[in-house]
Homo-oligomer: A and B are copies of this chain.
Amino acid sequence: MSQTLAEIAAALGARLEGDGALRIAGASEPAMAGPEDLALAMDPKYASGLSKGRARAAVLWEGADWGALGLEGAIFVPRPRYAMAGITRALDPGPEIAPGIHPLAVIDPTAEIGEGAAIGPFVTVGRGVRIGARARIAPRVSIEAETVIGADALILPGVWIGPRVTIGDRFICHPNAVIGSDGFSFVTPEKSGAEEIRETLGHRAEIRAQSWTRIHSIGTVEIGDDVEIGATATIDRGTIRATSIGSGTKLDNQVHLGHNVVVGRDCLICGQSGIAGSARVGDRVVLGGQVGVSDNIFVGDDVIAGAGTKIMSNAPKGRVLLGYPAIKMDTQIANWKHIRRLGRMSEQLAELRKTVAESGQSGIAIEDERGSDDDAS
């Protein structure tokens, strides 16, 4: 993977100063850099780190004096965080999957595998599957009947992709993800307690025994181009239509999408978030870690939700949300501050009641308050 500093600068569209012929084998934080590492020092605070490490080349902040920092060459980039994309792409060796189809893969004879594809051992590919050109399918992946995957896919070990799924180009899927599992959809012959609760917000006329009959998932999953799915993420197929993920959307590890969920384009869904059945999420939505979206609701375009937020009702487009239940982020932060002051508020209120009662005004009696914990579970 070794490249010259000049090649990297060219790939990034960055300005090069000093020795462009320096060989670069990796990237590193400044203090830990070896002589073939490109030190990433986009901020003056890293200057001292450079003197601890052994880097000969670095990415530097605008205006830095690379000679004085003991370097032999340097490159300069306008938006450092964005430059990271190019630097790491240039230096990523990628997974090692031997070209061709491994003899211990089990490929259905009706499957069509694109030109230049690499398929590892212990892979199964079902009837009528079509996989695009240059796909890299790592060991221990299963792709079920009639599924279609575009060009340049990278699918890592342990992934399962169910039947009749369609996926666009440049798909990346991390280990042990599951795409196209059956939805979690069960029904009782009579209306169930959970159905009743939803209508009454907590009241039940009577509790009946009930057992669950399975609604099968005969829909599928449709995934656009440039989608990335995290490790052990799970995406259920639709009941009779498709669960759908728009182009450019990225799902982190352990994300769960229920049946019939529709997620728009260019969304980021962070780790351990879950979207319940039949919810619809717009374009460019960003959900932080451990967010939940209730079933059958709508989350508008450009919504951003902070970590741990539970979105339990429709969210208009552009809304910034936080908390359980989700409300506007600034309101939530204000509410949390009020809650931290509740002890004092409670004391002040008690004091005020006492003052007013003692002043002889009517209607205030100071009773015992211990009964009010009774509603805890």
Q: Are A230 and B181 in contact (CB under 8 A)?
A: yes
The residues in A between 243 and 294 inclusive whose CB is less than 8 angstroms from any CB of B are 248, 250, 252-254, 256, 258, 265-266, 268, 270-272, 274, 276, 284, 286, 289-290, 292, 294
* C-alpha gap A356/B363 in the complex (Å): 11
Return A339 CB to nearest CB of chain B, in Å: 6
Q: Known pairs A178-B232, A211-B248, A331-B340. 9 more at Cβ < 8 A?
A: A28-B241, A82-B189, A106-B139, A236-B253, A325-B336, A328-B375, A340-B372, A345-B346, A355-B364
Q: Are A342 and B335 in contact (CB under 8 A)?
A: yes
Known: A160-B157, A181-B174, A189-B79. A202 touches B333 (CB 8 A): yes
Q: Which residues of B contact A189 (CB under 8 A)?
A: 79, 82
Q: Which residues of B contact A241 (CB under 8 A)?
A: 28-29, 32
Q: Which one, B266, B336, B364, contacts A212 given CB within 8 A?
A: B266
| Interface flag for A223 (CB, 8 Å) | no
Show 23 A/B contacts (Cβ-Cβ < 8 Å), sorted by A: A79-B189, A82-B213, A92-B217, A160-B176, A174-B178, A175-B181, A184-B252, A193-B302, A204-B320, A207-B302, A207-B318, A212-B268, A232-B254, A258-B271, A294-B307, A307-B312, A312-B377, A314-B377, A335-B340, A344-B369, A345-B346, A345-B349, A354-B363
* C-alpha gap A328/B322 in the complex (Å): 20
Q: What 1/0 flags go to A174-194 for Cβ under 8 Å of B?
A: 111010011011111110111
Q: Are B175 and A178 in contact (CB under 8 A)?
A: yes
Most buried by B among A40, A174, A184, A369: A184
| Interface flag for A109 (CB, 8 Å) | no
| Interface flag for A327 (CB, 8 Å) | yes
Most buried by B among A194, A231, A252, A311: A231
A-B pairs, 8 with minimum CB distance: A202-B329, A88-B216, A338-B342, A92-B216, A160-B175, A184-B252, A178-B231, A234-B253
The quantity of this chain's copies bound in the complex is 3
- Segment at the interface with B among A3-11, A14-22, A66-74, A116-124: A116-124
Return A176 CB to nearest CB of chain B, in Å: 5
| Interface flag for A330 (CB, 8 Å) | yes
Q: Which one, B207, B323, B361, contacts A355 given CB within 8 A?
A: B361
Q: Which residues of B contact A353 (CB under 8 A)?
A: 348, 352
| Interface flag for A222 (CB, 8 Å) | no
Q: Are A202 and B276 in contact (CB under 8 A)?
A: no
Q: Which residues of B contact A89 (CB under 8 A)?
A: 214, 216
* C-alpha gap A364/B361 in the complex (Å): 16
Q: Are A348 and B349 in contact (CB under 8 A)?
A: yes
Nearest neighbor of A339 in chain B, beta-carbon distance: B335
Q: Which residues of B contact A254 (CB under 8 A)?
A: 232, 234, 254, 256, 274
Nearest neighbor of A324 in chain B, beta-carbon distance: B308
Q: Which residues of B contact A202 (CB under 8 A)?
A: 320, 322, 328-330, 333
* C-alpha gap A326/B175 in the complex (Å): 32
